[in-house]
Structure 1
Amino acid sequence: MKIDVLRLKPGADLYHSLQDWAIENSIEAATVLSGVGSLKQASLRYASKKSVKVSELPSEILQISGTVSKDGLHLHMTIGDDKGKVRGGHVRPGCRIRTTAEIVIGIIPNTAFERVYDTETGYKELKVSKSVE
C-alpha cells in the first residue's frame, strides 16, 4: 500500500478536493486512513435520510473514513461542535474547511473501485475488481 497525505486549506470543499485528487492522480482504489481538521460549514446526509443537512456552525473533524477512487467517493465523517456535541453521516459537497484538514490516504494496489447503481438499494454501490500485476 502506498500512502499519500493531503492538507486542505481554508475554504476548500472536502468532498470535491478528494474527488479531484483521485481524478488527477488516476486513483483506482484508496481508503481514508485518517482525517482531522476543522470546518466552517458541514454538509452531511444522515442515515436513512434523502436530504442533506447543512450546518454553518464551526466544527472539528474528529474522524473521516471511506473509499476513494476516480470513479467516486463514499465517505463518512464524525464532527464535534463547540459544546462537545458529536454527530456524523455521509460526507456531501459543501463541507468547507475552516483552518485545515489533514487527510492520510492509503492507495490500494492491483484493485479498482467502481460505483455501480444498485436497484435493491437505490444508490451507487461499491464494485471491487482485482488485477494480477
Structure 2
Amino acid sequence: MASAGSAIRVHVVRLGPRQELLGSLRAFVEERNLKAPFIITCVGSVTKATLRLAHATAGNTNKVIHLEEYFEIVSLVGTLNKDAHLHICLADKEGKTVGGHVLGDLEVFTTAEVVIGEATELLFERHMDNSTGFPELAVQHRFEKDKNN
C-alpha cells in the first residue's frame, strides 16, 4: 500500500452543451499544468457516453458500451493526470443507473459543473502493473522528483 499527503488547491470548471467532458478536462489540466489533479465532485447531464464495464477476473474480455440518451451525472470520480482514470455513474429518465470506466464520448447535454482538486505537493503518474495488466497510479512527492532529476 502506498500513501501520501498534501495540501490541495481547488479549481472549478463549467462545461456547456455539446462539449466533450473527458477531453475538456484533460485540456484544462494541461493548460494549467496540474501535476496531481483529481475530481472532487461533478453534477450535470450528458447525451452520450462510452464506458468500459467491470469484469469478474483479469482474464475476462472487457465489455465496452456506447450509450446515447439523456442521463444525469450521479457521480464522477478519479484522477486526471495525463492518463486519466475516471469512473462515472449515470441515471436515466427512470432513475436506473449504469456506471463504469470512462473511455470518452461524454457529450454534455445542459451543463457539467466540475470541481477539481490538485494535490499541490504531489505528482500523479501511471505505470504498468503486471499483476493487474493496467497502468496503475504512482504517487511521488514533487520535491523528491525534483531531487532525482
TM-score normalised to the size of structure 2? 0.83
* 2:51 match: 44
Counterpart position of 1:120: 131
1:64 corresponds to which letter in structure 2? L
Residue pairs, 1:1-133, within 5 angstroms: 1-48=8-55, 50-69=62-81, 71-132=82-143
**Secondary structure at 1:15 match in 2:** helix
Which amino acid in structure 2 is aligned with residue 12 of structure 1?
Answer: Q
Distance 2:16 2:62 in 1: 29
1:25-65 superposed Cα distances (whole Å, 9 cap, x missing partner): 11100221101100011211111252421110110001111
Provide the rounded CA distance (Å) in 2 between the counterparts of 1:59 and 1:81: 5
Q: Which runs of 5+ in 2 are unaligned?
A: 1-7, 56-60, 145-149
1:131 Cα deviation (Å)?
Answer: 2.9
Residue identity opposite 1:94 in structure 2: D
| Partner secondary structure for residue 11 of structure 1 | coil
How far, CA to CA, are the matches of 1:52 and 1:114 in structure 2? 25
> Aligned partners of 1:82, 1:23: CA distance in 2, in Å?
34
Give the C-alpha shift of residue 14 in structure 1.
1.1
Please list every run of 5 or more consecutive structure 1 residues that lacks an aligned counterpart in the other structure. Answer: none
Q: Which has the larger radius of gyration?
A: 2
Distance of 2:29 and 2:63 partners within structure 1: 26
Give me the identity figure in percent: 37
Displacement of 1:17 after TM fit?
Answer: 1.0
